[in-house]
Amino acid sequence: MAEAAIIARVLPSVLEVDADAWNRLLVQQSHPTPFMQHEYLAALESSGSATPRTGWTPRFMTLWDGDTLVAACPLYLKSHSYGEYVFDWAWASAYEQHGVPYYPKAVIAVPFTPVPGSRLLAGDAATRALLVQAVCQWCEQENVSSVHVLFASDDDVLTSAQQDLMLRHTVQFHWKNEPPTLPLAQGVGAADGDSLRYQDFDHFLASLSQDKRKKIRQERRRVADAGVTFRWSRGADISAADWDFFYRCYERTYLEHGNPPYLTRDFFARMAAHMPEAWLLFVGERDGRPIASSLIAIGAYGSCARGQKGLESAPELVAYGRYWGALERVDCLHFEACYYQPLQWCIAHGAVRFEGGAQGEHKMARALLPVQATSTHWLAHPAFAEAVQRFLDREGAGVEDYLESLHQRLPFKQTP
C-alpha cells in the first residue's frame, strides 16, 4: 500500500473477521443496512447459501492499521451472474465472443440482496479510496476480469468515481412516510417530525389521486371478502412454526418459477437466532389456516450512522420488502401481503421509508416512487472498459429519460 502503516489482507471468510470490529465500522457509514451486518453475511456463508458451491467464493478485503480494522468490504469471486440484480450478461457474452474470460469476476455486494447501502466500510474518504485501490490491485494480480460494487451508497459512488470506476444506474421504487402536502396550515410546525408523517392508512390513501385510492380500496376489499385476515409478529415473537411456514411459502414461490430458492432454511434459522430484531413477518390466514406470508427486514440507525458525528438521535426505522409466498391463490393477495400490510405497519410504527426492492413499475400505483440506484464497475481489459463506458453512457441517458417519464405520472392527487 502507498501508506506503509496500512496493511491489506484478503480473507477467505467473513468468519475470520471479528464481528464487533466489522459492525463498528458499519455503523460509522452514511447508509448502513442490516444486510451488511456481520451476522447476516456470516449466515449466508455458514448456511451454504453463498459459497463456492453456489458460485459465490468469499474473499473479504480488509485494511489494518496494526491490529485495528480500518476498512473492509464483502468481496466475492463469481463464476456466473445470478443473484446480483445488476445484469451484465451482455458483457459476459461479448468477452466470450472475443475469446476473453469474463469469469471469475469480483463483486462487492450482499448476495441475493438488491438493497442500496454502504459497501465500502471505512472511517474516512481517504481510507475508503485505499480500499478500492487494494481491491483493484488484488484483482489484477489474480487475473480477475472486473470489480462490481453493487447498489452502492453515495459515499461509495463518490469514492469509486474518484478512482475512475464506471457508474451504472438503475431504478428502484421506495415509499416514504411523508405526505406530499405538509399540514403547516393547521398550525403544525416543521420541527414536529411526527406531524410530517401519515397519521394512519386512510390519511395515506387521502394523499393519492382518486383512481389510485379507489383501486387500492378495491384490492384490499377483494382479499377481505375472500376471508383472508393478517397477523404480524416481529423478532423473538416469530415462532419456529411461523418460520417453517414462511419457508414453505418462500420455497414454493421460487419452485413455481422453475428455480430452487437462493436461501436455505438454515439461513433463516440463523437469522432467528442471531438477528431476530431485524425481521417482521406477516401471515395471511383463512378459516384459521395460514395460506400466505411476507417477510420484511427492519433497520434502525440514528443520525451518527448517517455521518452526523457528534449528534445523537433516536434510531429511524426503515423497512425493506424481501420475500413472500402463498399456498393458495387469492385475487390481490400479493398486493395485500407485500405492500398494504407493510405500509400500514410502517405508518403505525413511524417507519420513515419502505423499500420495495428491484424493478416493478406497478409499485408506483401503491405510492412507491422511483429512485435511482447506482453500481460502480472496473474492468481490467482497456478495450472492453472503453466499450462498456460507451454502453453505459447510452444506457444512462435512457435511465434519465425513464425516470423523468415516471415522475410525470406520480400517484398523488393534484393540489393547488
Instruction: Answer yes or no: is pLDDT of 39 > 60.
Output: yes
* Residue corresponding to grid cell 478500492: 132
Q: Sign of torsion, CA 380 383 389 392?
A: negative
DSSP β-bridge partners for residue 62: 9, 72
pLDDT category of residue 385 using cuts at 50, 70 and 90: very high
What pLDDT shows up at residue 244? 98
Locate 244 and state its grid cell.
417453517
369 within 8 A of 176, measured Cβ to Cβ:
yes
Residue pLDDT, tens place only, 119-136: 999 999 999 999 999 999
Domains in the chain, CATH or no CATH each: 6-172+372-407 (3.40.630.30), 208-351 (3.40.630.30)
pLDDT category of residue 331 using cuts at 50, 70 and 90: very high
**Chain mean pLDDT for the chain:** 92
Q: What is the phi-psi region of residue 37: left when phi exceeds 0, alpha when psi lies from -120 to 50, beta otherwise? A: beta
What pLDDT shows up at residue 181? 67
The amino acid at 357: G
pLDDT category of residue 416 using cuts at 50, 70 and 90: very low
- Separation of first and last alpha carbons in the chain: 59
Residue pLDDT, tens place only, 254-265: 999 899 999 999
Instruction: Answer yes or no: is pLDDT of 310 > 60.
Output: no
What pLDDT shows up at residue 304? 45
pLDDT above 70: percentage of residues in the chain: 92
Interstrand relation of 146-149 and 105-108 (parallel, antiparallel or unpaired): parallel
Distance CA 416, CA 396 (A): 34
Distance CA 188, CA 179 (A): 14
What pLDDT shows up at residue 196? 86
What pLDDT shows up at residue 173? 96
Instruction: Answer yes or no: is pLDDT of 359 > 80.
Output: no
Instruction: Answer yes or no: is pLDDT of 2 > 80.
Output: no
Distance CA 123, CA 25 (A): 7
pTM of the model: 0.93
Which residues 6+ apart lie within 8 Å of 322 measured at CB? 295, 296, 297, 357
What pLDDT shows up at residue 64? 97
* Residue corresponding to grid cell 478512482: 163
Instruction: Answer yes or no: is pLDDT of 107 > 60.
Output: yes
Q: Which of the residue ranges 314-318, 353-357, 370-374 has the most confident prediction, judged by mean pLDDT?
A: 370-374
What pLDDT shows up at residue 309? 47
**Which residue, 76, 139, 90, 42, is CA-closest to 380?**
139
pLDDT category of residue 415 using cuts at 50, 70 and 90: low
What pLDDT shows up at residue 62? 98
Instruction: Answer yes or no: is pLDDT of 141 > 90.
Output: yes
Instruction: Answer yes or no: is pLDDT of 352 > 90.
Output: yes
322 within 8 A of 297, measured Cβ to Cβ:
yes
What pLDDT shows up at residue 56? 97
Three-state SS string over the chain comes to CCCCCEEEEEECCHHHCCHHHHHHHHHCCCCCCHHHCHHHHHHHHHCCCCCHHHCEEECEEEEEECCEEEEEECEEEECCCCCCCCCCHHHHHHHHHCCCCCCCEEEECCCCCCCCCCCCEECCHHHHHHHHHHHHHHHHHCCCCEEEECCCCHHHHHHHHHCCCEEEEEEEEEEECCCCCCCHHHCCCCCCHHHHCCCCHHHHHHCECHHHHHHHHHHHHHHHHCCEEEEEEEHHHCCHHHHHHHHHHHHHHHHHCCCCCCCCHHHHHHHHHHCHHHEEEEEEEECCEEEEEEEEEEEEECHHHHCCCCCCCCCEEEEEEEEEEECCCCCCHHHHHHHHHHHHHHHHHCCCEEEEEECCHHHHHHCCEEEEEEEEEEECCHHHHHHHHHHHHHHHHHHHHHHHHHHCCCCECCCC
Instruction: Answer yes or no: is pLDDT of 312 > 60.
Output: no
Residue pLDDT, tens place only, 238-254: 999 999 999 999 999 99
Collect contacts of 298-303 with beta carbons under 8 A, ≥24 apart: 298/34, 298/234, 298/351, 299/32, 299/33, 299/34, 301/27, 301/32
Q: Sign of torsion, CA 36 13 269 84?
A: positive
Q: Out of 32-46, 60-74, 195-209, 373-387, which region has the weakest mean confidence (pLDDT)?
A: 195-209
Average pLDDT over every residue of 309-330:
83
pLDDT category of residue 194 using cuts at 50, 70 and 90: low
Instruction: Answer yes or no: is pLDDT of 414 > 80.
Output: no
Average pLDDT over every residue of 283-293:
97
